[in-house]
Structure 1
Amino acid sequence: MATPNERSALASAAAHARWAKEDDRAGATAKARENSPASIEYWMRKIDPQERMPRTERLKRAGNAKAAYWKAHALKMRQAKARKAAEAAA
């Protein structure tokens, strides 16, 4: 059985081989980017799935939802780091 380092090296080589054959890199990742919390379109769909709001209002609310998500994410990261530091110090 391969070690974790060997599996990582094999996966990395496979990923590089896959991207070496890709003609349309943007197209290959478009669906993932559209469904990512980093995309404003993702938040627009979450805020107003039926698109009933005016676009400007949807954009404002989506921007707020996106900012709230990333602020909460940053807080969770800080808390996790603090927990790990406390565990390491103990």
Structure 2
Amino acid sequence: MRKSSTARSTIARIAANERWAKTEDRSAATQPARDAMARKFEDQVDPDRVLPAAERAKRAENAKRAHYQRIALKSAQARRAKKSA
């Protein structure tokens, strides 16, 4: 039997809430994801790891900020488009 997207979404939210209810250290549980995101931006700005670590970190932080600013811009544009429609 095929579930609707609403049912799948609800089941996923239930599973997420159950997981977090059993997690003692949320920060430790999400640390691998934060590390991977940091590596993503470091790879973007210095894939060959030729920059000093401090410079790579500064550039990665700027790349991360630009990424989130792009997301915010697209979100604002979508909200404006929805409002005017």
Give the TM-score normalised by structure 2: 0.67
Q: CA deviation at 1:46?
A: 2.0
Opposite residue 53 of structure 2, the aligned amino acid is: R
Q: 1:50 aligns with which of 48, 51, 61?
A: 48
Summarize deviations over 1:26-50 as a string: whole Å, max 9, x none. Answer: 33322222233xx4x5422321123
The structure number with the bigger radius of gyration is: 1
- 1:69 to 1:11, Cα distance in 2 relative to 1, 3 A: closer
Runs ≥4 in structure 1, deviation > 4 angstroms?
none
> CA 1:17–1:70 in structure 2 vs 1: closer, same or farther (change >3 Å)?
closer
**TM-superposed deviation, 1:84:** 0.9
Residues 44 and 21 of structure 1: is their aligned pair in 2 closer, same or farther, counting only changes over 3 Å? same
Q: Comparing both structures, which one devotes a greater share of its residues to helix?
A: 2
How well do the aligned residues superpose, as a CA RMSD in angstroms? Answer: 2.6
Alignment of structure 1 residues 16-55 onto 2, 5 Å = 16-36=17-37, 39=38, 41-55=39-53
TM (norm. structure 1) is: 0.64
CA distance in 1, matches of 2:15, 2:67: 33
Q: 1:83 maps to what in 2?
A: 81
The amino acid across from 1:31 in the alignment is P
Percent identity of equivalent pairs: 40
